Amino acid sequence: ADNQFFVTCSDDGSVKIWDCQRLEKNVTNRARASYNVQDVKFTCITICENSHAFATATNKGEIHICKVELAQQNKKRDAKGYQSKTVEKIINNDGGSITAIENLNAELQSLIIYSTSRGKIHGFDLRSKKEAWLLQNPACTGYVTCFAIDSKKNFIICGTNRGFYICWDARFNIPIKSWQHPN
């Protein structure tokens, strides 16, 4: 939330951390830090609210939660850089790749919400380190390609590969309405 950095991920298995100040004042085309994971493709990424952390998701159903730390790179020139350290690795056991991911910080929970190619939306509680809830979209609607959470954190709307929109009540974990795009 302090806008010091932003993070990008790629399907070549790399994650790059970019310094916002360097892009503004001294334009550079190099990331300040990066890390690579062999034999995976990163499918999506989200910044974890109110922390210097981010979560990346892979095509193999893994979620990597990494903490970003400011590091002193060169003591002579006082140049600063970033380091990332994986603090948590979550394995999705439903067998699908992860298609979308978001972080939801509520009063009682800090959740990583992610959807899979099996049509499920999972809520993983970072504090208790277990799944808080699971939403299952009907198979006929297709798999979830994206979703959004409203500002009051009461509703989740998801879009599927078959053109369906499904609105879920996140308080009661029930679908409220679904409809298909006319095209």
Phi, psi (degrees; rounded to nearest 5) at 140? -70, -15
Q: How large a percentage of the chain has pLDDT more than 90?
A: 40
pLDDT of 36-75, one tens digit each?
A: 888 889 999 998 887 888 999 998 899 998 888 876 555 5
| Confidence check: pLDDT of 149 > 90 | yes
Vertex 176: Cα angle to 173 and 180 (nearest 5): 120
pLDDT (0 to 100) of residue 146: 94
Q: What is the pLDDT of residue 93?
A: 72
Q: Tell me what pLDDT residue 78 has.
A: 44
The predicted structure's pLDDT at residue 77: 43
Cα separation, 104 vs 80, in Å, equals: 30
Task: Please determine, for residue 164, whether its predicted confidence score (pLDDT) is greater than 90.
Answer: yes
pTM comes to: 0.84
pLDDT beyond 60 at 125: yes
CA-based angle 102:50:82, to the nearest 5?
Answer: 95
Nearest alpha carbon to residue 13 among 74, 79, 58: 58
Query: In whole angstroms, what is the distance from residue 181 CA to residue 183 CA?
Result: 6
Per-residue pLDDT of 83-115, as tens digits, reads 677 677 878 777 788 999 999 887 777 899 999
Pair of tokens at residue 90: 């979550």
Higher pLDDT: 107 or 173? It is 173
Q: Which residue has the higher pLDDT, 3 or 58?
A: 58
